[in-house]
Chains A and B, each alone.
Chain A
Amino acid sequence: MPQNDESAAPAATPSASQNATADPATPDTPFVPGKITVDRTVRLPSITFCMARHQPSGRVFCGGADSGLHHFDPAAEKPEPKALSDLRHSSYVTGLVNAGNVLISGGYDKSLIWWNAETGEQIRRIDGAHERWIRAIAVSPDGTKLASVGDDMKTKIHDVATGNCLLDLDGYELQTPHGFPSMLYAVVFSADGSRIATGNKTGKVLIRDAHTGQIQQTIETPVMYTWDPKARRHSIGGIRSLAFSPDGALLAVGGMGQVGNIDHLEGKSRLEVFRIDTGERLHEIEDSKYKGLVEKLQFSGDRKWLMAAGGDHSGFLSIWSMENGKLLAQEKVGSHLHDFVLLSDRTLVTVGHEQASLITLAAAADTV
């Protein structure tokens, strides 16, 4: 759901400290994960939709259905979530990023809040930042710009330092082709901060210049939107996650394939990967083993592989080769995952339905 950019992409090569342990990879051998291990789980106080790692403290912050922010130390032997503040949003928190020394959250209450991560003090609050629910936020890699998207179908760019709205961008229909309210679910910055990509319910991706808002590319992923015209007469799906490759050449789009019974998240989890310059689709991946929405995507540093998290009732974490579209590793992880952040190039934390999981990636060779 949220698209946080502050966590570094997994490095193409392992760190020196990891080399010193049992990792057989060398600096000349790119790390290719072959196994996912859930090391620990942490009970969270509510359904959790978004998370960010506060770089100065190493703590992980998360937000969700209880409208507040919580944090825990993933390195602790028994991580214990604590409330950041008594102050809260007035509805679900759906986006959370770390920008320098502050955290910024966005939520269904249409507000954006700047937080002091140490004291819990609200530094700035913009109520009515959008006219409808804020679905996701993202911060530029240099921490100067905040992008937000909402069900008013607007994309807005804010100055992190002042909170001023720099760009207020349209480009999406307010309603689906079937006359119902549409939704704008995902936003992400490119690694160099020059572009943003957004994705809506009906499968439309807009790639824009992050400075001017000019649309540079339009990509359609209509399979991710299921409209049931006969049995149930409503829809499900939409683009739920986006990721630029580190070199800015590729864009990955996540969601769910066509759904038969839209009462449930029973569609195959779905990825599509495009070349941005031509719009050519390089990969179209549907996974029938783990169904549901792909809620978070992240490329490896060398763009050799792509990590996807999501789920139906259950959660999954999958890693796909971007060279041939094959599955490299996959694991059931608790219940439906909404977000993850990388702690190192081989460790990460996921959050989902009232649970966080601490996860280790191992190279395929490690598992032999």
Chain B
Amino acid sequence: MSHSGLQRVEVVGPLSGIQSRRGFLSGAALGVGGVLAADMRSVNGLRAEEIAGELRRGEKHVILLWLAGGASQLETWDPKPGARTGGPFGAISTNVAGIQVSELLPKLAQRMHLTAVIRSLNTKIADHGRGADLMERGRLDDPGLRYPDLGAVAAKELGRLESTVPDYVSLYTSTEGRRKGTSGFLGARYAPLFLAENTAPPNSALHERLTAAEHQDRAALRDLLSKRFAAEHRSNTVGSLNSAYQRVQGMMASAGLFNVEQEPAEVRARYGPTQFGEQCLIARRLVEAGVPFVKVARAWWDSHGQNFETHLELCADLDHCMSVLLDDLQERGLLQKTLVITLGEFGRTPGINASLGRDHFASAWSCSLSGMGIRGGVVHGATDAEGHTVKDGEASAADLFATILQALGIDHTHEYMVGSRPTPLADFGSKPIQAVLA
């Protein structure tokens, strides 16, 4: 395949990606000649800009605030005050002239210059499972081919091989709609460190009977034996096990990142008392330590009844926590390297049902992008007066995926080879939304 920048993902053994980067990085330390001498089994070609890109790994991050269950666009980014469908909330001006958001987001309204809103998502699928599949991966699986989700792609494209922190952390501590995430054809190497029960990895503390020195000695012995074994038995399984051990060691070393008690009390107080606030703080800590992708799921927005009461609670949580997160990232110089996304599986119906709820709706809804690679203070697309349809700038899930990748400096047309099948990072035909890109 002559496509420059095309990366082969050998039918996808869990180590295929890591091998290419391992080879690259070990070679990079020796110079370009070393690169060329590195293990090239999985890499069809490299370009100078990719070398530079490789060296920039670890400097780009994504925090996905997953609004699980489907937040209402009318109560967040696309208010319709006075419309029959508009609900009781007003629209408020933001710190960007001409842009209004729901009155439920007063703090984010004052940070609008950091954020681009897409009001014209038409993703068509309005059931939780398939909607989440679509919005997490930018497309639905094909028969026999499971696509990686955004976190896995980011882990592969942005993660550093020798990093001691995980590449993809997913926090989903509520149980409703809980999804682990998938690395699809990229293999288990890029699967998330999934935290469902607690906000810290389980069993990550050193065993009480072991000293740190003993732990290191054991690891060194295991490493020696496994390398000897691997030299005699070339297999992905052995490599995968070695990788897993390295990752576990890294995980144990980084377990403290999940401990917000290590933050000053005033910082914890700033994020507020809710679990979502605590998890946003953990996300900042992880990003600061070099984790490329952190997903914080805030469930559950599925407000078939009492939509307005639900959004009074959940928007207050989102507004406060995301605002503090943006501020904190900015103050630490991280926002220019971190893309913060709000997204869910769909939005909610303009129509208000008899239980004062809104139901599932994927035909005209919104998301937001802030920080890295994003032109803040813009709105892309528009819906009609009552919010039933997109009237301008329609965007698909694939378009959004392409936009996110472009914001991160990743060519969305870049292809993985899955077996003999070239597979672009974003779906065929997708187009980044240039209006929101810096």
Q: Which residues of A contact B (CB under 8 A)?
A: 46-47, 65-67, 90-92, 108-109, 133, 151, 178-181, 183, 230-236, 262-266, 292, 311-315, 335-336, 352-353
Given contacts A66-B84, A179-B273, A312-B305, contact A47 B356 (CB under 8 A): yes
Are A179 and B88 touching (Cβ within 8 A)?
no
Closest beta carbon of chain B to A178's beta carbon, Å: 8
Assembly CA distance A66 to B85 (angstroms): 10
Which label, helix, strand, loop or mixed, suits the secondary structure of the A interface?
loop
Are B90 and A265 touching (Cβ within 8 A)?
no
Please pick, from B84, B274, B304, the residue contacting A179 in the complex, using a CB distance under 8 A. B274
Residues of A near B316 (CB, < 8 A) are 180-181
Residues of B near A266 (CB, < 8 A) are 305
Contact bitstring B339-353, A, C-beta under 8 A = 1, else 0: 000000000000011
Please pick, from B69, B88, B298, the residue contacting A65 in the complex, using a CB distance under 8 A. B88
Are A232 and B354 touching (Cβ within 8 A)?
no
Please tell me if B309 contacts chain A, counting CB pairs below 8 Å. Answer: yes
Assembly CA distance A219 to B356 (angstroms): 28
- Besides A181-B312, A233-B174, 20 more A-B contacts (Cβ < 8 Å) are A109-B90, A133-B88, A181-B316, A231-B174, A231-B299, A232-B302, A233-B300, A234-B310, A236-B309, A264-B305, A265-B305, A265-B306, A265-B355, A312-B305, A313-B355, A314-B354, A315-B354, A336-B354, A336-B356, A353-B353
Are A233 and B299 touching (Cβ within 8 A)?
yes
Q: Which residues of B contact A (CB under 8 A)?
A: 69, 81-82, 84, 88-90, 174-176, 272-276, 298-300, 302-306, 309-310, 312-314, 316-317, 352-357
Residues of B near A313 (CB, < 8 A) are 353-355
Residues of A near B276 (CB, < 8 A) are 233
Assembly CA distance A320 to B317 (angstroms): 40
Chain A CB within 10 A, most for which of B275, B300, B305, B353? B305
Assembly CA distance A252 to B30 (angstroms): 81
Are B354 and A263 touching (Cβ within 8 A)?
no
Residues of A near B353 (CB, < 8 A) are 313, 353
Given contacts A180-B313, A234-B310, contact A91 B304 (CB under 8 A): no
Residues of A near B305 (CB, < 8 A) are 236, 262-266, 312
Assembly CA distance A178 to B355 (angstroms): 24
Closest beta carbon of chain A to B275's beta carbon, Å: 7
Are B309 and A108 touching (Cβ within 8 A)?
no
Assembly CA distance A150 to B122 (angstroms): 37
Are A234 and B313 touching (Cβ within 8 A)?
yes
Residues of A near B273 (CB, < 8 A) are 179
Are B313 and A235 touching (Cβ within 8 A)?
yes
- Pick 8 A–B contacts, CB within 8 A, sort by A: A180-B274, A180-B316, A232-B174, A263-B300, A263-B357, A264-B304, A264-B355, A265-B306
Residues of B near A314 (CB, < 8 A) are 354
Assembly CA distance A236 to B299 (angstroms): 14
Chain B CB within 10 A, most for which of A265, A266, A315? A265
User: Which residue of chain B has its CB nearest to the CB of A236?
Assistant: B306
- The 10 lowest CB-CB distance pairs between A and B, nearest first, are A232-B300, A335-B354, A353-B354, A179-B273, A265-B305, A231-B176, A180-B313, A92-B88, A108-B88, A313-B354
Assembly CA distance A164 to B212 (angstroms): 72
